[in-house]
Amino acid sequence: TLRQLFVHNIIWYGDPDTLLVGDFHPIEAARAATTVVALPGSLMFAGDKLGELTPERMRLIQQALPVCDVRPLDLFPVMEMKPVWDLKIRRPFAEWDVVSLFNWRDEEREMGFRFEDLGLPEGAYLLYDFWGGRFLGEHTGEFRATVPAHANLLLAVHRATGRPQFLSTDRHVTQGGTCLKALAWDAEAGVLSGSTELVAGHASHLTFYLPAGYRFVAAEGAAVQAASVDAAGVLTVTLRSGESGAAEWRVRTASA
């Protein structure tokens, strides 16, 4: 399916009769439109005048590329506007879900899902808000949140392991689905290592979670520019390289 993506000059309220050409739509609606196109792996072309886009809007197009290799399990007419979309990322080294809660209404609403409805086994899950750039903590059973009108909440959902683990990257809406190439945990050394595809000259931020009992020691790798950890145990590592390609990194931890 080929879809046109507008991130600037069309207000889209979900109903084809409410397309307002020539107006600017808010960033929340632009993010929702980006998710509609990129999350199901649609081929796309940009409908905006790219030279007139602000850096914030151009970033949305960048986060929709490259197209993720997605094989839909359930197909449905997009104009039915299902409120919950779930993309299951499965790699030899890791697996996680990317869940979008779409609020197509004219007012904010409380939305959510049960983990069992996503086909996930019973247990605790870590959630990360992609658009908000924030860790939402550990949840069991279900998750609920208030989503603004004409907006979406885009979540990475990881099974909680009780040890340091990868949460997200701001490179793409799949939060690692297109750029994370390797991931491994060495329990004896306390090292989480991996490989990430980078675009020359562009920073990429990786997010990790360090649960109680672990403390951050160092982030290592030729492309590592900075690393910081907050009081909640959320570690952010900034990668940048002068060349495009895979960059290897290591996060060293120790017992707290």
pLDDT in tens, 83-139: 999 999 999 999 999 999 999 899 999 999 999 999 999 999 999 999 999 999 999
Arithmetic mean of pLDDT over the chain: 89
Over the range 194-221, which residues count as b (16 or more CB within 10 Å of their CB) and which as e?
bbbbbbeeeebbbbbbbeeebebeebeb
User: Judging by DSSP bridges, how do beta strands 245-255 and 214-220 pair with one another?
Assistant: antiparallel
181 DSSP 8-state letter: E
**Residue 229 β-bridge partners:** 235
How many percent of the chain have pLDDT more than 90?
68
Q: How confident is the model at residue 11 (pLDDT cuts 50, 70, 90)?
A: very low
- Which runs of E-coded beta strand occur in the chain? 2-5, 10-11, 20-21, 43-46, 84-91, 94-103, 109-114, 124-129, 134-140, 142-147, 151-159, 165-169, 180-186, 191-198, 204-209, 214-220, 224-229, 234-239, 245-255
pLDDT score of 71: 74
Q: How confident is the model at residue 15 (pLDDT cuts 50, 70, 90)?
A: very low
Average pLDDT over residues 20-29: 66
Q: How confident is the model at residue 143 (pLDDT cuts 50, 70, 90)?
A: very high
User: Judging by DSSP bridges, how do beta strands 124-129 and 134-140 pair with one another?
Assistant: antiparallel
Which amino acid belongs to residue 148?
P
C-beta of residue 209 within 8 angstroms of C-beta of residue 161 = no
**Of 210, 221, 224, 230, the residue nearest 248 (C-alpha):** 221
pLDDT score of 61: 87
Q: Which residue has the higher pLDDT, 7 or 143?
A: 143
Residue 53 in this model has a pLDDT that exceeds 90: no
Residue 170 in this model has a pLDDT that exceeds 80: yes
- pTM (2 d.p.): 0.89
Query: Which stretches of the chain are DSSP H helices?
Result: 27-38, 55-62
| pLDDT tens digits, one per residue of 191-242 | 999 999 999 999 999 999 999 999 999 999 999 999 999 999 999 999 999 9
C-beta of residue 162 within 8 angstroms of C-beta of residue 211 = yes
pLDDT score of 84: 93
d(CA 214, CA 204): 24
Average pLDDT over residues 50-55: 84
Query: ω into residue 66 within 30 of 0, thus cis?
Result: yes
Residue 28 in this model has a pLDDT that exceeds 50: yes
The total of other beta-carbon atoms located within 10 Å of residue 150's CB is 23
